[in-house]
């Protein structure tokens, strides 16, 4: 099974409600779909969103990176040589992690199709049912409380609350949501770099003193501010999770060495795909550090890949934040991972099991 061609599509899916964080507001998913063709007729699928404010990747940069730097290195390569191919992808250029992720996902899809097994089985196997949280966008307090209650009523047992706008209002937001859903759901806060280190300590200690128990607080400070992250981690009881601060395995090693955070959020769009996500899970497990697996605004192509990683690496990846598909108004993908609100189930279909993608526009 040799690579013969790589093609692109654009997939647009409206969201049920606008996605609002301290960094941005988005009302639809617009992702690049990558199709890796082979001489056997098998097609591998990958996907990447433009997340300029986090990874630096745009639709244009993703397509250009793949077209001019990845594709020329991969044409003619044999899918059976998985480790060689992932090495070629990662060494093709600096950064561009989302472009690399899209192609790696498609390669793993093909590798598993080659052996007629779902991806997670070739990564070591696991229990093919996992449970995700759902994001509650930052908004007026009453709206966030209503969205939280509605999510709990839909069966979500963990809520990822977006904060990081105005520290005083953030504290009131959390108190109100905690009071509204107490004992029915765990709360994860994501500040998306919105606080300074001192503000974060103040906010988290205030919530702790008020009896609000949080499962974790994610990325309270700026991505580059590892010292600030350590400052917060040292001063609060609530576990602190790094997201935008860590992309690849080298940064994870540094974060663990500094004890700058308690938990690591793995996203395929930051790691450049599955091979480095596995490395991070293994490094974290060796150090007794837990991981979350998350996604950007992605549909059930690349999120399916993250699900397979989560299933196979469940000893290290104990928290799941793969709500992209459940934020969409509809699922454009007919495939092997079934997203039903909080419950995600993987079937035995080979690869990622993607059979059809509805509404995809071709990119010439």
Helix/strand/coil (H, E, C) string of the chain? CEEEEEEEEEEEEEEEEEEECCCCEEEEEEEEEEEEEECCCCEEEEEEECCCCCCCCCHHHHHHHHHHHHHHHHCCCECCCHHHHHHHHHHCCCCCHHHHHHHHHHHHHHHHHHCCCEHHHHCCCCCCEEECCEEECCCCHHHHHHHHHHHHHCCCCEEEEECCCCHHHHHHHHHHHHHHHCCCCEEEEECCCCCCHHHHHHHHHHHHHCCCCCCEEECCCCCCCHHHHHHHHHHCCCCEEECCCCCCHHHHHHHHHHCCCCEEEEEHHHHCCHHHHHHHHHHHHHCCCEEEEECCCCCCCHHHHHHHHHHHCCCCEEEEECCHHHHECCCCEECCEEEECCEEEECCCCECCCCEECCCEEEC
* Nearest distance in Å: CB 80, Mg ion: 36
Q: Which residues are catalytic?
A: 162, 267
Residue 243 binding Mg ion, by CB under 5 A: yes
The nearest distance, CB 58 to Mg ion, in angstroms, is 20
Q: Rule CB under 5 A: say whether 190 interacts with Mg ion.
A: yes
Question: Taking contact as CB under 5 A, which single stretch among the options 1-9, 210-218, 301-309, 353-361 is the one that binds Mg ion?
Answer: 210-218
298 forms part of the interface with Mg ion (CB under 5 A): no
Pairing label, strands 186-190, 158-162: parallel
* Cβ nearer to Mg ion, comparing 38 with 158: 158
Q: Which C-beta is closer to Mg ion: that of 218 or that of 225?
A: 218
Task: Write down the least CB distance from residue 24 to Mg ion, Å.
Answer: 12
* Segment lying near Mg ion (by CB under 5 A), choices 27-35, 51-59, 137-145, 187-195: 187-195
Q: Which is nearer to Mg ion, 18 or 60 (CB)?
A: 18
Question: What's the min distance (Å) between Cβ of 265 and Mg ion?
Answer: 6
* Interacting span for Mg ion (CB under 5 A) from 51-59, 102-110, 190-198, 334-342: 190-198
Total residues contacting Mg ion (rule CB under 5 A)? 3
What angle do helix axes 167-181 and 197-209 make, rounded to 10 degrees? Answer: 30
**CA distances in angstroms from 266 to 163, 235, 275, 320, listed in the order given:** 20, 24, 12, 10
CA-CA-CA-CA dihedral for 45, 346, 186, 236, to nearest 10 = -60
Stretch that binds Mg ion, among 131-139, 163-171, 198-206, 213-221 (CB under 5 A): 213-221
Report, in Å, the least distance between residue 137 CB and Mg ion: 13
Q: Least CB distance from residue 86 to Mg ion, whole Å?
A: 25
Q: CB under 5 A: which stretch of 5-13, 37-45, 198-206, 238-246 binds Mg ion? A: 238-246
Q: Provide, rounded to whole angstroms, the least separation between the CB of residue 223 and Mg ion.
A: 10
Footprint of Mg ion (CB under 5 A):
190, 218, 243
């Amino acid at each position: 099974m040799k690579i013969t061609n790589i093609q692109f599509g654009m997939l647009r899916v409206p969201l049920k409600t606008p996605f609002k964080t301290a960094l941005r507001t988005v009302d639809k998913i617009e992702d690049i779909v990558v199709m890796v063709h082979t001489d056997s007729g098998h097609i591998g699928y990958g996907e990447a969103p433009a997340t300029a404010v986090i990874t630096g990747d745009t639709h244009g940069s993703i397509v250009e990176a793949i077209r001019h730097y990845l594709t020329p290195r991969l044409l003619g390569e044999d899918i059976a040589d998985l480790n060689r191919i992932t090495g070629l992808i990662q060494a093709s250029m600096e950064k561009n992690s989302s472009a690399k992720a899209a192609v790696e996902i498609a390669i793993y899809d093909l590798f598993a199709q080659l052996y007629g097994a779902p991806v997670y089985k070739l990564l070591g196997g696991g229990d093919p049912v996992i449970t995700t949280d759902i994001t509650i966008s930052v908004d007026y307090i009453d709206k966030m409380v209503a969205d939280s209650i509605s999510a709990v009523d839909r069966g979500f047992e963990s809520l990822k609350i977006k904060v990081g706008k105005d520290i005083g209002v953030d504290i009131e937001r959390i108190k109100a949501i905690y009071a509204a859903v107490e004992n029915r759901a765990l709360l994860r806060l994501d500040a998306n770099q919105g606080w300074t280190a001192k503000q974060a300590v103040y906010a988290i200690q205030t919530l702790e003193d008020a009896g609000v128990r949080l499962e974790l607080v994610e990325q309270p400070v700026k991505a580059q501010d590892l010292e600030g992250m350590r400052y917060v981690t040292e001063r609060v009881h609530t576990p602190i999770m790094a997201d935008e601060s860590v992309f690849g395995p080298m940064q994870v090693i540094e974060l663990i060495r500094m004890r700058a955070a308690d938990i690591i959020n793995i996203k395929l769009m930051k790691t450049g795909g599955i091979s480095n996500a596995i490395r991070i899970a293994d490094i974290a497990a060796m150090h007794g550090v837990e991981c979350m697996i998350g996604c950007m605004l992605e549909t059930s192509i690349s999120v399916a890949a993250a699900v397979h990683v989560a299933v196979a690496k469940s000893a290290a990846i104990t928290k799941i934040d793969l709500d992209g598909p459940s934020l969409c108004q509809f699922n454009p993908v007919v495939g092997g991972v079934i997203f039903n609100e909080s419950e995600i189930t993987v079937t035995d279909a080979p690869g990622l099991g993607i059979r059809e993608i509805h509404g995809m526009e071709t990119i010439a």
